[in-house]
Amino acid sequence: MMNYQLLKRLLVGAPLPSHREKHERLSVSTALAVFAADALSSTAYATEEILLALAIPAYAIYAGFANILSIPIAIAICLLMVIVVASYKQVIKAYDQGGGTYEVSKEHLGLHASHVAGAALLIDYVLTAAVSVCAGVDALVATKWVPPHQRVEWACSFLAIITIINLRGVKESGLFFSIPAYIFIFAMVTMVVTGLVQALTGHALAPLPVNFDHGWQGLGVPANIQDLLGIGLLLAMVKAFSHGCTALTGIEAISNGVKAFKEPAADNANKTMVIMGCILGFLFIGMTILAFFHRVMPMENNTVIAQVATSVFGGGSFFYYLVQFLTMVILIFAANTSFAGFPRLTSILANDGFLPRQLMHLGDRLVFSNGIILLGLVSAGLVVLYHASTHDLIPLYAVGVFLSFTLAQAGMVKHHIHNKEGNWKYSLFINGFGAIVTAIATIILLLEKFWEGAWIVVVGIFGIMWVFRKIKCHYISVARQLILPDSPQAFSQSVIEHTVVVLVSSLHRGTLPALRYARTISSRIEAIHVELRPDLTKRLVDAWDDWGQGVPLTVLKSNYRSVIQPLMEYIEEVDDRYPDDMVTVIIPEFVTKKFWHNILHNQSSLLIKAMLAFRRNKVVTSVRYFLEE
């Protein structure tokens, strides 16, 4: 017991008193690192995702066409981000106790919509955690430092580390994660600025001349195939757009976790969200432009970010390796955003009675410890189930968060129509437009990935909604059953008769205090012994006159060499003997000095307690005798 406490202290730290809660909250700079990790990590691959989607159809038209198209798509995604940020600014303002999408949908779209949002977000947080560490391990495997068959072990170890750091408290984990996050931001900004300056001062390749005649028409393909290509390209652009959108997870996490911020919490949350949006937008568009300047396309063994770093800093330079290393670190740490969002959401859901109550309370270190542990376990389970394969997990990803974006914006649309505050028509337009765009993105993501795994998310959402419902029903039923009766008199007057039964396996020092204790709590006492070996029983009966303290001894026969069955039958018989009474079963136990020594002794008392726990009007009492050695 003491060793467990010590280990807990070492891993997690000493408990924090409740009044420290205000001091544990995050400043804007730390919060940025916690909530932006996921969004920042996406700058490492969002450009690549767009170029990958465009590569084949665009190449058919013109070699550098994918790079050209990627820029407007990146801009469009950033515009969507602006809309989402603007919309969540209003969510945060309206729901400054946190809860984000879930609270918005609960108020404006009803219980079912809020359950869809809650379930979708829970799934997406778990997936974000799992996908992030797996992608980080992918990068680690690519360096050849880690053999591929150890992927699951490494991914689970990273999850364990992130879980423990989060259990240490909000502030401590924020500080831990902010260092690599800020170095990453610094390195990426340096790369983008340097690259852009190089390009503008003519040190990079000149941008390709945009000449549609060379490609589109000049290829000489017949008109109907050109049309088909046009449709293919359009679909590819839509796909590129929806893939690029995965960068937006962090925004929802901020709206969820307003209470993690220093006061004024809502203002600080908004500030963090806007700064995060600016950094993300700058890096994302900057990376896409640099990729365009250097005609970078994704290659099998070379990521877009590595190629850009090579072009800007040179292949073997310090900055090249720094960018590579930080990309790996930030991919793993992106999981931390889930650890900021998930436990807060489960706490809100538990508070509403839709999840087990244990998820509701702050733990020793003023974080929702149970939620953090739950996220760690579930995401590790997912990693094991999917053999840490990023490829298999990706199709499940992002559907949930887009569903929640759509619901949040739809909720805000109703909010504006209902409240008509300030410049509400303008806000209504923003949120309405955002709702339509995110709804389209959701549908595209769902359709595109449905049979690859997104159907699991749909089933999962319905499954979790069913669990929410079942849990709520249970709590309502328990509360109804436990409500106090109308009058206190009935209870305070009636007196319980009770019979005490002492189980005696043999006469030893541990039996005597149990008998003595039994005598103090009732005058109706019986000692019971189950005969397993007749020689031992005889010895007990012979000694009973001297040692039995006047308590009558009953010997029960056992046909099946089991203590349990005859005991249970006899206890039921005693219970039947007197109506309206209780039977107190006293079990003498001795406690060994060392905890693990107990495995050397018969644990039938545990079994007896477990069996009696399900019988009415039985009270089980252990009277312990402590061994000194």
* Residues 435-474 close enough to bind a copy of itself by CB under 8 A: 471, 474
Selection from 35, 132, 133, 399 nearest residue 242 by Cα: 399
Range in contact with a copy of itself (rule: CB under 8 A) among 112-120, 276-284, 310-318, 506-514: 506-514
Name the DSSP letter for residue 593.
Answer: S
Which residue, 261 or 544, is less far from a copy of itself as judged by CB?
Answer: 544
| Choice from 417, 496, 538, 572 touching a copy of itself (CB under 8 A) | 496
Would you count residue 622 as binding a copy of itself (CB under 8 A)? yes
In the complex with a copy of itself, the residue whose CB is nearer, 97 or 477, is 477
Q: State yes or no: residue 592 binds a copy of itself (CB under 8 A).
A: yes
State the amino acid at position 351 in one-letter form: N
- Binds a copy of itself by CB under 8 A, chosen from 491, 523, 576, 579: 491
Task: Annotate each residue in 257-286 with x if it binds a copy of itself (CB under 8 A) or - if it does not, as one string.
Answer: ------------------------------
Residue 347's contacts (CB-CB under 8 Å, 6 or more residues apart) are 359, 360, 361, 368, 371
The piece of 224-232, 241-249, 418-426, 611-619 that touches a copy of itself (CB under 8 A) is 611-619
Return the residue of 508, 538, 539, 577 that touches a copy of itself, per CB under 8 A.
Answer: 508
Q: Which stretch binds a copy of itself (CB under 8 A): 49-57, 214-222, 436-444, 619-627?
A: 619-627
Residue 12 burial (CB < 10 Å; 0-12/13-18/19+)? Answer: buried
How many residues are recorded in the chain?
A: 629
SS (H, E, C) 364-409: CCCCCHHHHHHHHHHHHHHHHHCCCCHHHHHHHCCHHHHHHHHHHH
Q: How far is the CB of 582 from a copy of itself (least distance, A)?
A: 7
Cβ at position 495, least distance to a copy of itself in Å: 6
Q: Out of 249, 510, 527, 567, which residue is the one contacting a copy of itself (CB under 8 A)?
A: 510
Instruction: Compute the half-sphere exposure of residue 270: CA atoms within 13 Å on the CB side of its CA.
Output: 16
Q: Please, which residue, 72 or 463, has the CB nearer to a copy of itself? A: 463
For a copy of itself, the closer of residues 391 and 509 by Cβ is 509
Pairing between β-strand 525-531 and β-strand 497-503 as defined by DSSP bridges: parallel
d(CA 159, CA 381): 11
CB-based burial label for 97 (10 Å; 0-12, 13-18, 19+): exposed
**Site for a copy of itself (CB under 8 A): which residue of 317, 521, 542, 578?**
521
Give every CB contact of residue 250 below 8 A, 6+ residues apart in sequence: 35, 36, 37, 38, 39, 276, 337
Smallest distance from the beta carbon of 526 to a copy of itself, in angstroms?
17
For residue 599, state whether it binds a copy of itself (rule: CB under 8 A): yes
Residue from 224, 423, 520, 523 that binds a copy of itself (CB under 8 A)? 520
**Binders in 566-585 for a copy of itself, by CB under 8 A:** 582, 584
Q: Minimum CB separation from a copy of itself for residue 34, in Å? A: 22
Is there binding between residue 535 and a copy of itself (CB under 8 A)?
no
Residue number with CB closer to a copy of itself (85 or 586): 586
Please name the residues in contact with 436: beta carbons below 8 A apart, sequence gap of 6 or more.
none
DSSP 507-527: -STTHHHHHHHHHHH-S-EEE
| CB-nearer residue toward a copy of itself: 145 or 560 | 560
Distance of CA 480 to the CA centre of its chain: 31
CB atoms within 10 A of CB 124: 27
Q: Is 601 in the site for a copy of itself (CB under 8 A)?
A: yes
Task: Look up residue 274 and give its two tokens.
Answer: 């806007």
CA dihedral 611, 614, 616, 618 (to 10 degrees): 40
| Alpha carbons 371 and 384: distance in angstroms, whole number | 20
The residue from 301, 495, 535, 579 that contacts a copy of itself (CB under 8 A) is 495
SS (H, E, C) 310-374: HHHHCCCCHHHHHHHHHHHHHHHHCHHHHHHHHHHHHHHHHHCCCCCHHHCCCCCCCCCHHHHHH
Q: Of the candidates 23, 387, 418, 597, which one interacts with a copy of itself according to CB under 8 A?
A: 597
Residues touching a copy of itself: how many (CB under 8 A)?
82
Based on the shown chain and the rule CB under 8 A, indicate whether residue 351 belongs to the binding site for a copy of itself. Answer: no
Segment near a copy of itself (CB under 8 A); pick from 238-246, 275-283, 308-316, 557-565: 557-565
**Contacts (CB under 8 A) with a copy of itself, residues 352-391:** 356-358, 361-364
CB of 158 to a copy of itself, least distance (A): 25
330 neighbors 110 (Cβ within 8 angstroms): no
Q: Is residue 481 a contact residue for a copy of itself (CB under 8 A)?
A: yes
Closest CB to a copy of itself among 15 and 230?
A: 15
DSSP 262: P
- Identify residues 11-50 at the interface with a copy of itself (CB under 8 A): 15-19
423 touches a copy of itself (CB under 8 A): no
Instruction: Kindly write down the DSSP assignment for every residue of 464-477, as one continuous string.
Output: HHHHHHHHHHHHHH
Q: Which stretch binds a copy of itself (CB under 8 A): 270-278, 316-324, 432-440, 542-550?
A: 542-550
For the CB of residue 2, give the shortest distance to a copy of itself in the complex, in Å: 9
Neighbours of 450 (CB within 10 A): 15
Question: What share of residues in the chain are helix, strand, coil (percent, to 5)?
Answer: 70, 5, 20
Q: Is residue 541 a contact residue for a copy of itself (CB under 8 A)?
A: no
Position among 316, 484, 576, 580 found at the interface with a copy of itself (CB under 8 A): 484
